[in-house]
Amino acid sequence: MTDAYGVVSRPVRLDYTFTAGKALSRFLTIIEGGKIIGQRCPKCAKVYVPARGSCPTCGVATAEAVEVKDRGIVTTFCIVNIPFPGMAVKPPFAAASVLLDGADIAIFHLLQEVPVENVRMGLRVEAVWKPASEMEMSMESIAYFKPTGEPDAPYDSYKDLL
Amino acid sequence: MRDVAVVGFAQTAYARSELELNETEMLMPVIHQALERGGIPQKEIGFTVSGSCDYLAGQPFAFVMALDAVGAWPPIRESHVEMDGAWALYEAWVRLQCGDIDSALVYAFGKSSLGDIRDVLTLQLDPYYTQPLWPDSVSMAALQARATLDAGKATEREMAEIAARSRRDARANAAAQVTGDFNADALLAERYISSPLRKHDCPPISDGAAAIVLAAGDLAQRVSKRPAWITGIDHRVEAHGLGMRDLTASASTRIAGERAGVGEGKVDVAELHAPFTHQEIILREALGLDDDVRVNPSGGALAANAVMVAGLTRIGEAAQRIIDGDANRVVAHATSGPCLQQNLVCVMEGRS
Amino acid sequence: MSNRVAVIGVGQTKYASKRPDVSIAGLLREAAQRALDDAGLTYADIDAVVIGKAPDMFEGVMMPELYLADALGANGKPIMRVHTAGSVGGSTAIVASHLVEAGIHERVLTVAFEKQSESDAMWALTVRPPFQPSTVGGAGGYFAPYIRAYMRRSGAPADTGMRTVVKDRLNALKNPYAHLHQPDITLEQVAASPMLWDPIRYAETCPSSDGACAMVLASESAAAKAPGKPAWVHGTAMRSEPTMFAGRDQVNPQAGQDCARDVYKAAGITNPRKEIDCAEIYVPFSWFEAMWMENLGIAPLGEGWKMVQEGATGMDGDFPVNMSGGVLSSNPIGASGMIRYAEAAMQVRGTAGEHQLDGVRKAMGHAYGGGSQFFSMWIVGSEKP
């Protein structure tokens, strides 16, 4: 069908100025210094990382800052085998949900320094930070996570916190 | 139809650019306030529906994270329209007509400041014939204003007076963004930005959010001393192409107004979503409003125009007049699309 | 207050990766005209139009109901545009059905569509503010970890997802509108396809399609005048939960469970597996068939995969799923949910052609969206509720 019709490409360009918001701005400012903060919900006491200024289940503002560790548990993962636009590293690599110690919700990040066939649920991992000169106001200040060598976390300890 | 009323309304103070808060943070206090004023806790709300637009936010699925402001747990009955919040309110009103639930939370949010709103709105146009010419929203409104002037339906002085009145009235509205004592002569001395429109003929660029709580029948009476009962609500669209309709009239507003029953009683206050001064003149005529109807005591869209929010705000402002006991019968109007292409009319009454 | 609602017309386009032969409006009209023809009506008979689609950025047209008003004969009438992420096709039909149920309109035209070829859908999905973390793994990278979690939790055999794919793609051969027609598909072939996002293989993902689906919904009196047999709406439900929260179960989301409970209650169903004859379920990645069987309470918890393995979801099983070939065979995103609803209606009307099952009295349509946080469902029947 395509061959019978001409196609005209007409690019549209729109520029936007985004606003991170109060909570996320604070998180981004602090992560540039190599620390990770979340926020505790005043109602359910869950710690959210990154802090987003609200507890999505209670629908209330969160203010209390809580520092969490830069290490945690791989709660689940996938192996990415195909290249796609904007990719940070060459496939295959593992992308994992990492439940940081002290947090009640996992973040999604890259896993390295471990063969993909050895990646597993329950693996203990820690952040590998970028060199100070490359730190930025972004989750990408963490270059990736790598195994700590600690024993795996038992399934029951994280099965409800994917 | 089942009796449904606005029982709670809240809005942000609108700003040219809300740099500190993201959409969720901006929205949350407004939702809390509307629920508190409506006297219905979030966990007891039967249906939640919102209006917003990805192209304003500059990212797909912009409404998804906004749900964090609600506290949607346990899971809620929820929907979203990619339209002004006024249409979300219409969906909620329809949902309440089905009879199995008694209350609804409606909210809208939008930051017009993130992109160049004049260009962003161009993407609403026919993608094959019109959009490639890149006409911006103010220029399109100027075409309509010119046609309206040439048809003898308005004068530039009348337009300036509408701007002056709106911004004078807006002084009493804490949420308004552009307020002050303006004089039509001084305004008319200013230069055109897109002839025949001067700056005062155009809406400000606004960021903000609004929320409304609806309740049906007995529940409305229980939670509110004076609910703003919706006696009629209807919306209509007309041809998209500017050359295919009479730009100096609003046929869709006229039909919606008739079906909502605007003419069936005395109107005390009308909140009209007229982002451009000449559009107020067109809308008054389409709705058949008498000269003694008080139009836009809030200052209207000329005082604050958060795109996707401003229509819902008109319903909230009009309802608030009833809730506060300042009016008995009000008309609210919302618009969408280039040069008043789509219009919604809501008539509300107080009964006590 | 509540009025009966019937589906009296269904129309679909042929789903394909590109439809350069029609404009966006032309694509919608193709489906809408077929639905009107089926209902024996013209645009003039329609009281209101409700359209739905996924993000505007897929076509590059903001709030397209404005541009589409003319093409859909909506001038002088109400038109609305629903957007609830991937569940939108279903939600759109529900919003339209409420207009009839509430007694506001007699005949409502509802159309859901996506014309991803008009813009760059991959680009549209990856637009993100600079401070938001990158998606790290692409679209499938978001879902794959939850499939892995399901496999771990249920102990399902590794070929479960592949069985769903083969079943759906073979069903698609009987559906002339389906995008993918792969007559030679086998388990071995699926197993040999590239592992994109381990545990998801290429053959286990849905295609990207252009397409539209339309329905005419009518009141009882309007349905009485329709030329064909109507499908009666027995129940509708929509449920949402937040996207990210502590303890969220993305394998078996509460919103999906609640949505199913609501729709069964509305339709007076106590044993869904027995009382519902077949279902069109939103399965964009193979494993979601097994997962949703549990989520919807069709299979006991942890046993959804058994239905797949035993062939219960096949055309000759006790609970056939995706007779049309499902999302795994055609995926015009915004329309995919409405296709599920329309196919369910076709089954109870007896108009599904080669993929028609015998004697369907009740059928279910299901859609979900985003990160499994938005759900919408309906149940239709051959008899009045």
Predicted confidence band of residue A11 (pLDDT cuts 50, 70, 90) = confident
Residue A1: inside a domain, yes or no? no
Alpha helix stretches (DSSP H) within B209-250: 217-223
ipTM over 0.95: yes
Residue A13: inside a domain, yes or no? no
Residue A134: inside a domain, yes or no? yes
Beta strand pairing call for B329-336 and B294-295: unpaired
Q: Are residues A77 and A116 in the same domain?
A: yes
Per DSSP, A90 falls in state P
CA atoms of B72 and B65, how far apart (whole Å): 11
CB B164 within 8 A of CB B171: no
pLDDT at A1: 45
Sign of CA dihedral A60, A65, A70, A73: negative
Distance from CA of A47 to the nearest CA of C (A): 8
pLDDT at C2: 85
Low-confidence stretches of chain C (pLDDT < 70) are 1, 121-139
**Widest pairwise Cα distance in chain C:** 57
Chain A to chain C Cβ contacts (< 8 Å): 127
pLDDT at C126: 64
Q: Are residues A73 and A145 in the same domain?
A: yes
Q: Are residues A126 and A161 in the same domain?
A: yes
Q: Using alpha carbons, list the distances in angstroms from residue A47 to A44, A71, B23, B306.
A: 9, 15, 21, 33
Task: Give the residue on C whose Cα is nearest the Cα of B96.
Answer: C102
Q: Are residues A99 and A136 in the same domain?
A: yes
Q: Are residues A149 and A85 in the same domain?
A: yes
Low-confidence stretches of chain B (pLDDT < 70) are none
Chain B residues with CB under 8 Å of A39 CB are none
For residue range A33-87, what is the model confidence (pLDDT) as tens digits?
A: 999 999 999 999 999 998 889 999 999 999 899 999 999 999 999 998 887 766 6
CB neighbour list of residue C29: distance below 8 Å, 6 or more residues apart: C71, C72
User: By C-alpha distance, which of A75, A77, A70, A23 is closest to A50?
Assistant: A23
Q: Are residues A77 and A149 in the same domain?
A: yes
Task: Give the residue on B whose Cα is nearest the Cα of C377.
Answer: B77
Token pair, residue A65, equals: 């800052």
Relative orientation angle of helices C288-295 and C138-154, to the nearest 10 degrees:
60
Class of domain B123-202+229-349: alpha beta
Q: Are residues A74 and A57 in the same domain?
A: no
Chain B residues with CB under 8 Å of A61 CB are 25, 28-29
B127: nearest CB among C61, C65, C129: C61
Same-fold call for B4-116+205-228 versus B123-202+229-349: yes
Residue B340, Ramachandran bin (φ over 0: left; ψ between -120 and 50: alpha; else beta): left
- CB proximity B129 to C under 8 Å: no
DSSP letters, C184-201, are T--HHHHHHS-EEEETEE
Q: Taking CB atoms and an 8 Å limit, are C198 and A78 in contact across chains?
A: yes
Q: Are residues A98 and A49 in the same domain?
A: no
Q: Are residues A48 and A124 in the same domain?
A: no
Q: Taking CB atoms and an 8 Å limit, are C137 and A55 in contact across chains?
A: no
**Widest pairwise Cα distance in chain B:** 58
Chain C residues with CB under 8 Å of B124 CB are 61-63, 66-67
* Partner C, chain A 62-101, Cβ-Cβ below 8 Å: 75-82, 84-88, 92, 95-97
Number of domains in chain A: 2
User: By C-alpha distance, which of B140, B109, B144, B111 is closest to B126?
Assistant: B140
CB neighbour list of residue A58: distance below 8 Å, 6 or more residues apart: A41, A43, A44, B71, B73
- CB proximity C255 to B under 8 Å: yes
pLDDT at C133: 59
Sketch out chain C's domains with CATH numbers. 5-122+208-224 (3.40.47.10)
Class of domain B4-116+205-228: alpha beta
pLDDT at C129: 66
Q: Are residues A89 and A46 in the same domain?
A: no
CA atoms of C345 and C361, how far apart (whole Å): 10
Residue A11: inside a domain, yes or no? no
Residue A12: inside a domain, yes or no? no
CA atoms of A36 and A50, how far apart (whole Å): 8
Instruction: Print burial letters for B106-118: b (CB count within 10 Å at least 16), e (below 16).
Output: bbbbbbbbbbebb
CA atoms of C147 and A81, how far apart (whole Å): 16
CA atoms of A73 and C382, how far apart (whole Å): 51
Residue A15: inside a domain, yes or no? no
Task: Give the residue on B whose Cα is nearest the Cα of C72.
Answer: B239
Identify the domain containing residue A144 by its residue range. 69-162
Q: Are residues A63 and A73 in the same domain?
A: no
CB A150 within 8 A of CB A123: no
CA atoms of C183 and C169, how far apart (whole Å): 8
CA atoms of C325 and C185, how far apart (whole Å): 13
Q: Using alpha carbons, list the distances in angstroms from residue C95 to A144, B80, C378, C382.
A: 45, 10, 12, 21
| Residue type, position C362, single letter | K
Q: How buried is C384 (Cβ within 10 angstroms: 0-12 exposed, 13-18 middle, 19+ buried)?
A: exposed
CB B299 within 8 A of CB B166: yes
Residue A6: inside a domain, yes or no? no
A53: nearest CB among B25, B58, B67: B25
Q: Are residues A64 and A81 in the same domain?
A: no
Q: Taking CB atoms and an 8 Å limit, are C57 and B54 in contact across chains?
A: yes
Residue A2: inside a domain, yes or no? no
Domain ranges of chain B: 4-116+205-228, 123-202+229-349
Task: Give the residue on C whose Cα is nearest the Cα of A16.
Answer: C129
Distance from CA of A114 to the nearest CA of C (A): 16
